[in-house]
Structure 1
Amino acid sequence: MAFFPLAALATLVSCRGEHVDVDLEDLSMSLLQQKHRVGDCSGGYGPGQHIVQLPEIQRQFLFIVPRDHAPLAKIPAMMFFHGMYQSPFFSLRLLGLPDQLERYGWFGILPWGIPENETTSMGGQRQCCAQLCGDDLNCCLESRFVMYQDEGACGFPPEKNDLNLRFVDAIFEWMARETCIDTSKVFAGGFSYGGHFAQVLACHRSHLFQLLAPNASPDFPSEFSCEGARPISYINYCGTADATSCTLRSARLGVLFAKQSRCTAQQHRRQSATVSCTEWTGCAEDHVVMDCRWEGDHDVPGRHAPDGTSVLRPASDIDWTKYIFEQFSLRVDPHQILFYGRPTPEEEEHKMAVWPPKKGTDHVYLRQALLKRGLLTLDE
């Protein structure tokens, strides 16, 4: 991953803008100069991962800060709600979020769910840690296991919707108060119970989000009433072999959200050999609504769980993280995307001024990551 592992940092438990400086590895002078600008934009938090606690509601979330972002712009953000028995650290690794957030220059927010018989989540790094990790903090941070299926498991179950909606409201207030995040350019995803909560947000907090992207949402019996909800982009994925029967719910919710977004056309198309979608277009404000099936189980398409439990799948499965970021890029202003508009004519002229072309030395952390992507296992 492009970010520094949390275990290698100082303890990062922060309240309302207070923070402990990150112990960063050596960076070039240019990156150190950039850190100050990013820190100003992120409420004083340096590049990396931070646990932010909101004492007024006794909840916490993981805040991901990129090393750089588009200049002179309010910055978009992504939120993701983890599955039952999991944690934000699990989602971070499952989705490869640091790489994508670094590449786009956007902020990430991953809220913690709450245990079944509790109403708070303020346990710092060990909140929602799997019992099998014991006292091994690195095991928690690396998400080597999921939690037991008991009352202590953390998540976003339907009976906690009101609490979690208040939590989302508080996060938006924090973003507006403490950071330069563009609160009109936020999108969110979720897995399993977290995916169901993303569907709840599409109905009950549509004014806060540009796009909601649930994945593997269980077929809960409750029905939705989205009266008064605003148009929104909605992209849902469900595995055809998902034991939670998410397909039963997905089809009718696709119709519901297409109606909410006043879409006028519908088509069925295959995205790849293993993925097919129903897509509604002609929607208000150029939104798009998609309900997709992939030939998989209760997992995230194109991704592998950090606890090693994912079944290996064909490469034709869509990379969920990459695809959702690409779709959200259609909802932001071009200048809010890092490196948009490059190379400029001047940069191209400078590059070709001598032969062989001059090598770039900026953003080494991105250049090296891109160079190694797809080759990481060759030395094993």
Structure 2
Amino acid sequence: MTTWLKTLGVGALFVCGNALAQTADFDPRDWKKDIAGKPTQVMVLGSPHLSSFGDHFKPAMLSDLIDKLAAFKPDVITIEALSGEQCDMLKRYAATYPDVFSDYCWDPEAAEKATGLTVPAALAEIRTVLKTWPATHAGAQQGATPTPAQRRHLAALFLAANDRFSALVQWQRLDPAERKLGDGIDEVLLKVLTRDQTKPNENYEIGTVLAARLGLERVYATDDHTADSIQDLSGPKLGDALQALWSKIDIPEGRVTKQREGSLASSKDVLDLYRFYNQPKVGRAFIGADFGGALKQQSPELYGRQYVAWWETRNLRMVANIRSAFGNQPGARVLVIVGASHKPYFDAYLNMMHEVKLVDSNTVLK
């Protein structure tokens, strides 16, 4: 704990607490106008999960969308993926979080074998490397640039840290002729980086592609599944209760998205789909049908409310991870790429942050 926090006396805490009790309701948004410097601009992009799309979808169809996002010029990009730190913890606490590691994490054993580094050691080495890494993003001053060997080595470090997405950012920043073995990349890791037989995924097709295009060195994995313990503790009947709830959902917005997703044929179609998903009224409709319905679900165990508790906890922890990702870059532009059902919650929670100015996603996508 920081020294000044240790020395803060009980009396001071009492005085602060007493003063707050005598003031009007506290709202973090009231302080937005008082910050030093520019606000941090955050845009949340609600995305469908591309892995569920059929063979008619091709990543090249994202070109118009990526052009729009590139014009926003984010300095920080976050994605809906679990970090290496959390995966390392989930593996060690498998009894507390059953099946979560196997469901959401990549086993870093091959990367550890290739580099000789555990996840904690690789994370520490990445921090050391990036402290002296040349600034190569758009707008950075001219100077030394990383060598291909340095980029390959950093990609290997990211893989050892269980961060495939940032590894791919480094890989895409290499000249195609330099995407080869060496500097920690062996045959097994090369297959990971070439994404052999991998389904489309917005973390890759949007997040890493955009980061590489803008000259960023990494993306930030900000998902969280520690809240899954709530589902596990609720017991096996939770699934039946949720299936009963979902089987009754039939809203116009759902029918429109199904029709649009099934008939994608061009980059314009994909951009229009994202515009639709990011309309506030569409987000509210899906939330009302799903989580709103769950809150009203009648059962002795109130399974619907347990489901909402899991969802709210997960979103709060994800937003905390996002806040941490741009914590050392006040005034930055931040792009948050996340499943569309998270977007309304993220917008609400992020807007409570003192220094955050929300950017309307549909203005950017216009």
Same topology, TM > 0.5: no
Name the structure with the higher helix share. 2
Q: TM-score, normalised by structure 1?
A: 0.26
User: Rg bigger for which structure?
Assistant: 2
The answer to which structure, 1 or 2, has the higher relative contact order (CA under 8 A, 6+ apart) is 2
